[in-house]
Structure 1
């Protein structure tokens, strides 16, 4: 089956009502998903802290990613990627509100998973 990461956006994304998470592949020790954001951010005062490692590449749009251990927000543009080690507290400060921001995320097990 041929699938394109830049097509088949859910209606809620096109209306800027919701952020979506689409599982593309799942197997023992790995999960690949597409996330589409349009102006969404992590709620104030909240942090993500997953048990698995996470490799993220921004494919379209832009976003601000902040790690609790850093004082500055990392600004991501298409082609920028970052590896987020398991148990690293991080948050999305903002995503582009003028167009869908498309992320490709690989969740994978590490030595401690």
Structure 2
């Protein structure tokens, strides 16, 4: 079965919508769709995260540094690094692919 990251995107007014695409051993992959009004939640995760902005433009705060991402840009965020999304584009909406790498298996 094949799927498409751009199909069936939800309508959201605020924040982000998360969809888990794959969970295998210590890796979890998710699609994230951002509204143009991010909630600015502070993330400080136990797992490493590699994130790629597939479409749109975004501004992130990562451990005191402001980072601008445009379509195709990616960033590795080590575990324990505080970060948040501070700005996101309206058109196109920001669509992300996030790969979470846990220190141990997360299979149930």
Place the TM-score, normalised by the shorter chain, in its bin.
0.7 to 0.9
Partner of 1:5: 5
Q: CA deviation at 1:99?
A: 2.6
Deviation beyond 6 Å, 4+ runs, structure 1: none
User: Within 2, Cα distance between the matches of 1:52 and 1:17?
Assistant: 25
Partner of 2:28: 31
User: Within 1, Cα distance between the matches of 2:69 and 2:64?
Assistant: 18
Structure with higher strand content: 2
Scaled by the length of structure 1, the TM-score of the pair is 0.82
Structure 2: where are the runs of 5+ without partners? none
User: Within 2, Cα distance between the matches of 1:110 and 1:83?
Assistant: 15
Scaled by the length of structure 2, the TM-score of the pair is 0.86
Return closer, same or farther for 1:18/1:91 CA change in 2, 3 Å cut-off. closer
Deviations along 1:22-66, whole A, 9 cap, x unmatched? 0000122110000001213243xx521000000000000110011
Please say if residues 38 and 99 of structure 1, whose CA atoms lie closer than 8 Å, have aligned partners that are also in contact. no
